[in-house]
């Protein structure tokens, strides 16, 4: 369930600093160095403005209320959702042929779910078990599928065609792992996704419309380059 809040994780990177590659149009010398393949840019910009409105008038007010919750309790909530994310990570590490990552993820999930009381505590990190984060978009990339065109998704934020497909893939993996039925998954996502978004947004100080006139281009460039690094392209 990490992708719905990736816009905010990405924003932190911004503030701190083809269906394959051949399918992407070449960048002309006169174009901005931030230029990326964005054939539906007009629609993407409209969606970006919608996300700004949603963040400013709905999400941030909820975050302000949530910050009245004591910080230790908020940390426990973040740990809980991080533990749930171990399940799609496990499936993706197996699909990527990474037995070390897969075994570490199994150990983390088992330890944090039991000793960590359903994941609200994170003894696995204290005991030196590295937390990996793998999603189906990354798996597709490791299999040779290019990112395709840039896409801005309502609620989810920056994405690509490959990563958009990956969101559905991660949900399907939870079902394939036997974690829940389709109806149970739909109910769980409806209940847990808003709570996770609020939790992750609270931990990030990024504010839309504060990065200057080229914010859209900067977010687009940073997202695509960040994903390229994760995939190893």
Between the two ends of the chain, the Cα-to-Cα distance in Å is 24
Q: What pLDDT, in 10s, does the model give residues 109-128? A: 999 999 999 999 999 999 99
On whether residue 91 sits in a domain, the answer given is yes
Determine the longest span between alpha carbons in the chain, in angstroms: 57
CB 59 within 8 A of CB 201: yes
Number of independent structural domains in the chain: 1
CB 76 within 8 A of CB 120: yes
How high is the pLDDT of residue 164? 96
On whether residue 188 sits in a domain, the answer given is yes
On whether residue 137 sits in a domain, the answer given is yes
Who contacts 147 (Cβ-Cβ below 8 Å, separation ≥6)?
18, 141, 160, 161, 162, 163, 224, 227, 228, 233
Q: Which domain holds residue 133?
A: 3-13+35-231
How high is the pLDDT of residue 3? 53
Please state the pTM of the whole predicted model: 0.82
On whether residue 28 sits in a domain, the answer given is no
pLDDT at 18 > cutoff 90: no
How much is the average pLDDT of 146-167?
Answer: 96
């Amino acid at each position: 369930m990490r992708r719905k809040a990736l816009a905010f994780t990405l924003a932190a990177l911004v503030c701190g600093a083809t269906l394959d590659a051949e399918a992407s149009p070449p960048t002309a010398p006169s174009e901005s160095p931030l230029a990326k393949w964005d054939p539906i840019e007009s629609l993407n910009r409209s969606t970006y403005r919608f996300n700004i409105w949603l963040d400013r008038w709905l999400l941030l007010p909820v975050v302000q209320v949530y910050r009245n919750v004591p910080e230790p309790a908020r940390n426990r909530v973040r740990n809980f959702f991080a533990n749930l994310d171990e399940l799609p990570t496990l499936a993706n590490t197996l699909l990527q042929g990474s037995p070390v990552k897969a075994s570490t993820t199994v150990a983390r999930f088992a330890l944090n779910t039991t000793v960590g009381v359903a994941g609200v505590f994170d003894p696995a990190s204290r005991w030196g078990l590295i937390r990996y984060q793998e999603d189906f978009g990354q798996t597709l990339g490791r299999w040779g599928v290019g990112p395709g065109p840039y896409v801005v998704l309502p609620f989810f934020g920056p994405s690509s065609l490959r990563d958009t497909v990956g969101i559905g893939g991660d949900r399907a993996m939870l079902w394939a792992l036997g974690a829940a039925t389709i109806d149970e998954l739909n109910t769980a996502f409806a209940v847990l996704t808003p709570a996770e978004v609020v939790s992750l947004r609270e931990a990030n100080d990024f504010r839309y419309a504060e990065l200057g006139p080229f914010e859209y281009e900067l977010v687009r460039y940073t997202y695509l380059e960040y994903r390229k690094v994760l995939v190893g392209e």
